[in-house]
A and B are shown apart, each in its own frame.
Chain A
Amino acid sequence: MNAPTPSSFETAGQRVWCDYVRCFADRVTTDSYGNVAAVLNPSGRPVVLLDGHIDEIGLMVKYINDKGFIYFQAIGLVSPKILPAQRVQIHTAKGPILGVIGAIPPHQTMDDEKKDLALHDLAIDIGAADGKAAARRVSVGDPITLISQFAMLSEDVAVARAFDDRAGAWAAAEALRLVAARRRELHCCVVACSTVQEEYGIRGAMMNVFNIRPDAAVVIETGIATDSPGLDQSRWGRMAVGDGPVIMIGRENHPALVRRLRKVAKGRKIKLQENAFFFQQDGTNASAIYPAVGGVPTALVSVCTRYIHSPVEVLSIKDLRQTAELIAAVCLDIKKDEAFRVEV
């Protein structure tokens, strides 16, 4: 969780993920954009893809002004509201540099407080004397992350920057590890993917689905928890941190796969939450996978997360662990040459 992985700058995280899965996968491959696929039982059928995206939202250096202040653009969906007064790391070719995003003191903002900030109203201060000094340390195109380290809030609840979706990438690896421990019972081929560039428009998954040609896919994502103040459950449905993994119903979520998730969860006494499909059209990698290469039965499993797309994403470790257990159990439950089909 502490590695910087803004979309299209995922290498540091991919290295961590690769080194981990090499301990139990039969084969680990990478593609030209840096997607990583860890394969278990390559000759098994069907081929089941487990997807978690390693990339996180972030910022990128856009422009350095004469005074040495650094303007930036967003990588993925970043709300300008959460940025003022944050510490940041700018990841340069020569290593990370500390900076702060300036905030106008309250004394000067009484009149315009109501104005909504845009990203280009904000700038990073790296303490440079002038533009030249700043340009010596930072280049246009360098990725930026907010500084916020992983910490436990209680015995079960953790906070970090960008659980979205390093938690999913972790769960994909963890499910593979659990399956590897019982591989004698395994009939299918499991391909765990740590996917790049989800936050840019689900691009990495488009590459993976074409290259891997899976017969089924499970996408693991953080899901927007609605159990904190200010969120209307009649609008977003009920999703609570600590109440178990969430399965979604409808659209990309293939009915046969959803039924199987329910059945396996019941057998293993894992409590599930259910919600109608995620309103956003291309909100997760599942939307890239299911209509591709002629239709791939796909299901989304979510880990309820509060304050998504902020440096203080909050989730339950138990939910996350159970998500990996559930998916591993489903992989082990799949019969030889089983096909998932809508019965018409």
Chain B
Amino acid sequence: MQRGPLTFLKKLLTTPTVSGHETTGQRLWIDYVRKFADEVTVDSYGNAIAVLKPQSKTKVVIDGHIDEIGMVVKHITDGGFIHVQQVGGVNPALLRAKRVDIHTARGPVRGVFGHSGIGNAKNDPKMHELFIDIAAKDSKEANRKVAVGDPVTLVDDFEIINRQVAVARAFDDRIGAWVAAETIRRLASARARLRCSVIATSSVQEEVGLRGASMNVFNIRPHVFFAVDVTHATDTPGINRQQHGKTAIGDGPTIQLGRENHPVLTKMLRNIAKRKKIPVQVEAFLTIGATNAIPAYSTAGDTPSAVVSIATRYIHTATEMIDLRDADRAADLLKEFCLSVKAGQKFKVRV
């Protein structure tokens, strides 16, 4: 990965972007894409849209969602301890004894999820049984510092742990937002050969019901939609491949097949990968979890859509792990796809 894009990725990954509170991340993304996009716009809920060659008729969207799972403050007890509610698929079993940042109107407040060795804590806690300790001496002090509704993230930063393999909180799906930006960055220098309009979207609120992409598809009315998201890597102990298929980090981006994944698009992707010698993996459509391709393909009539994924270990934990080369190759694959689109090309299932 080149140094500039890598620095941008690191910044994205260390910025809090809990669903519904994505503004700081969107600002980073916008400042970055402004350098090479022809047009950058933001909608009322904060979806960011960067367009290359807006005058071309065929519109190809490359989407990554900037929002991450997290928590929000639900209740402050009389003793000044803080209870939270999940935003998206947070597993309460992974929270005890973790450090957190509560993002208040006046900046972050550090806290910890309490866990006492002498309490009778269950192995499988419910969210409301957990609490955050910000060392406030009483409810008054806690209420002065923190408000109901403030978003909360775990404190876990980006690290490269072995050559190309990195670990971070919420690669899901800041890596997708990165791939979307990186694809148009790479296309900007090849724009003379480009016959379609390429629209990178950094969408909001995927983790709370795929909402941002619903807005984008209605507003943009694309001819092609790619959701770039993470997919479960099955190359670690304890995962049954008979059930979940075979995906590994470092073996290239995955192309998903079936359901929302339009057969013409997936075929084109596979042919391009072969021709350009980009390693890819193929997997059946996701049965656990969903991506923005779901609202995309049926929100505004019929929009040919497909998912391109980055195999990720330990999704929805603070230690998500990917091979950075897979993200690089995803941007290459999507760049080559866009360059192969002919003027006025139709993407139709032949009946």
- Contact residues of A with B, CB < 8 Å? 232-238, 248-254, 274-277, 279, 281-282, 287, 290-297, 339-344
> What A residues does B209 contact at CB under 8 A?
281-282, 287, 291
Min CB–CB distance A293 → chain B (angstroms):
6
**Given contact pairs A291-B215, A292-B214, A342 touches B208 in the complex (Cβ within 8 A):** no
Q: Is the CB of B42 within 8 A of A341?
A: yes
Complex Cα–Cα for A64 and B289 (A): 42
Closest B residue to A257 using CB positions:
B44
> What B residues does A252 contact at CB under 8 A?
211
Q: Is the interface of B mostly helix, strand, loop or mixed?
A: mixed
Q: Taking the complex as formed, is B87 at the interface, i.e. its CB lies under 8 A from any CB of chain A?
A: yes
Complex Cα–Cα for A238 and B42 (A): 34
Q: Taking the complex as formed, is B14 at the interface, i.e. its CB lies under 8 A from any CB of chain A?
A: no
Give the interface centre of A236, A277, A287, A344 by most chain B CB atoms within 10 Å.
A344
Complex Cα–Cα for A339 and B127 (A): 37
Q: Is the CB of A234 within 8 A of B72?
A: no
> What B residues does A249 contact at CB under 8 A?
72, 148-149
Q: Taking the complex as formed, is B77 at the interface, i.e. its CB lies under 8 A from any CB of chain A?
A: yes
Closest A residue to B71 using CB positions:
A276
Q: Is the CB of A237 within 8 A of B151?
A: no
Q: Is the CB of A233 within 8 A of B75?
A: yes
Complex Cα–Cα for A235 and B211 (A): 25
Q: Given B27, B72, B212, B215, which contacts A250 in the complex, CB threshold below 8 Å?
A: B72
Q: Is the CB of A344 within 8 A of B42?
A: yes
**Given contact pairs A233-B75, A344-B27, A344-B30, A291 touches B128 in the complex (Cβ within 8 A):** no
> What A residues does B131 contact at CB under 8 A?
234
Closest A residue to B31 using CB positions:
A344
Q: Taking the complex as formed, is B26 at the interface, i.e. its CB lies under 8 A from any CB of chain A?
A: yes
> What B residues does A248 contact at CB under 8 A?
149
Spot the interface stretch: B15-23, B265-273, B277-285: B15-23
Complex Cα–Cα for A343 and B24 (A): 10
Q: Is the CB of B23 within 8 A of A291?
A: no
**Given contact pairs A292-B214, A295-B215, A344-B27, A234 touches B74 in the complex (Cβ within 8 A):** yes
Min CB–CB distance B300 → chain A (angstroms):
9
Q: Is the CB of B72 within 8 A of A277?
A: yes
Q: Is the CB of B128 within 8 A of A254?
A: no
Complex Cα–Cα for A287 and B205 (A): 12
Complex Cα–Cα for A236 and B127 (A): 11
Closest A residue to B210 using CB positions:
A291
Give residues of chain B (299-344) contacting chain A, Cβ–Cβ below 8 Å: none
Q: Is the CB of B149 within 8 A of A344?
A: no
Min CB–CB distance A53 → chain B (angstroms):
20
Q: Is the CB of A281 within 8 A of B72?
A: no
> What A residues does B45 contact at CB under 8 A?
254, 290, 295, 297, 342
Q: Is the CB of B20 within 8 A of A250?
A: yes
> What B residues does A293 contact at CB under 8 A?
218
Q: Given A279, A282, A295, A340, which contacts B85 in the complex, CB threshold below 8 Å?
A: A279
Complex Cα–Cα for A276 and B147 (A): 10
Chain B: residues with Cβ within 8 Å of the partner, total of 41
14 contacts between A and B (CB under 8 A): A234-B74, A235-B74, A235-B127, A235-B128, A237-B85, A251-B19, A274-B148, A274-B149, A276-B85, A276-B149, A295-B43, A297-B45, A342-B23, A344-B27
Complex Cα–Cα for A251 and B48 (A): 17
> What A residues does B114 contact at CB under 8 A?
none
> What A residues does B215 contact at CB under 8 A?
291, 294-295
Q: Taking the complex as formed, is B234 at the interface, i.e. its CB lies under 8 A from any CB of chain A?
A: no
Min CB–CB distance A97 → chain B (angstroms):
41
Q: Given B23, B83, B147, B218, which contacts A274 in the complex, CB threshold below 8 Å?
A: B147
Write out, one digit per residue, whether chain B residues 122-156 have a CB within 8 A of any chain A CB (1) or not (0).
Answer: 00001110010000000000000001110100000
> What A residues does B149 contact at CB under 8 A?
248-250, 274-277
Q: Is the CB of B151 within 8 A of A250?
A: yes
Number of A-B contacts (CB under 8 A): 108
Complex Cα–Cα for A276 and B46 (A): 19
- Contact residues of B with A, CB < 8 Å? 19-21, 23, 26-27, 30, 42-48, 72-75, 77, 83, 85-87, 126-128, 131, 147-149, 151, 205, 208-209, 211-212, 214-215, 218-219, 295
Q: Given A234, A339, A341, which contacts B83 in the complex, CB threshold below 8 Å?
A: A234
Q: Is the CB of B46 within 8 A of A344?
A: yes
Give the interface centre of B30, B72, B77, B131 by most chain A CB atoms within 10 Å.
B72
Starting from the known contacts A251-B87, A341-B42, A342-B45, 7 additional A-B residue pairs (CB-CB under 8 Å) come to A236-B74, A237-B148, A274-B147, A275-B74, A290-B211, A295-B218, A339-B44
Q: Is the CB of A297 within 8 A of B83?
A: no
Q: Is the CB of B128 within 8 A of A342?
A: no
Q: Is the CB of B44 within 8 A of A234?
A: no
Q: Is the CB of A342 within 8 A of B75?
A: no
Complex Cα–Cα for A283 and B87 (A): 15
**In the A-B complex, the 7 residue pairs with the closest CB atoms:** A249-B149, A235-B128, A295-B215, A342-B46, A234-B83, A291-B211, A294-B218
Complex Cα–Cα for A252 and B211 (A): 9
Q: Given A254, A277, A281, which contacts B44 in the complex, CB threshold below 8 Å?
A: A254
Q: Is the CB of A275 within 8 A of B148?
A: yes
> What B residues does A232 contact at CB under 8 A?
128
Q: Is the CB of B205 within 8 A of A234?
A: no
> What A residues does B75 contact at CB under 8 A?
233-238
Give the interface centre of A238, A249, A291, A292 by most chain B CB atoms within 10 Å.
A291
Complex Cα–Cα for A170 and B71 (A): 34
Complex Cα–Cα for A295 and B49 (A): 14
Closest A residue to B204 using CB positions:
A342
**Given contact pairs A237-B148, A287-B209, A250 touches B87 in the complex (Cβ within 8 A):** yes
Q: Given B42, B46, B205, B214, which contacts A251 in the complex, CB threshold below 8 Å?
A: B205
Min CB–CB distance B22 → chain A (angstroms):
8
Min CB–CB distance A81 → chain B (angstroms):
22
Q: Is the CB of B44 within 8 A of A340?
A: yes
> What B residues does A341 contact at CB under 8 A?
42-44
